Structure 1
């Protein structure tokens, strides 16, 4: 998910924005309506713990899946 925020608010809430970036979100900083910068997480190579946290954060942002959807996916492409 991407968050867009103005410069003044970014200064005020920088710690919170960095926590969101660490959780995998991107932050666009704008001056007025013009985007000027993007904050994004620097990927850590060979860090299994960071990868697991990134997957957990992505799963937390995803919408819930119904049982019916899972069954449909399981049978997708099957010929009867």
Structure 2
């Protein structure tokens, strides 16, 4: 159920009004006798899906067979297996 309070009362008792809104109550704020705003509870962001990435999310959905390497030359294959000579991360 909504309860009307004046702007002056809302400024004076803002913490208490916010606590009431958090509890699920709707509070109407009025200028004189004219309602001008409504204080309502905010839906928690917990309803939003988890945006973190999951490692291995496509496991079992994508397969790459040996035929993916069929177009590679012997030089490209050996560089892949042994590392490129100019590669700074290559072990000496």
Secondary structure in 2 aligned to 1:25?
Answer: coil
Which stretches in structure 2 are left out of the alignment for 5+ residues? 48-92
Number of the residue aligned with 1:74:
none
RMSD: 1.2
Number of the residue aligned with 2:15:
15
Number of the residue aligned with 1:60:
none
Larger radius of gyration: 2
Q: How does 1:34-73 map onto structure 2 within 5 Å?
A: 34-46=34-46
Give how far 1:46 is off: 3.9
Secondary structure in 2 aligned to 1:24?
Answer: coil
* Count of residue pairs the alignment pairs up: 47
Give how far 1:44 is off: 1.6
Number of the residue aligned with 1:32:
32
Number of the residue aligned with 1:2:
2
Give how far 1:36 is off: 0.5
Separation in structure 2 between the aligned mates of residue 28 and residue 45 of structure 1, nearest angstrom:
24
Give how far 1:3 is off: 1.1
* TM-score for both structures, normalised by structure 1: 0.55
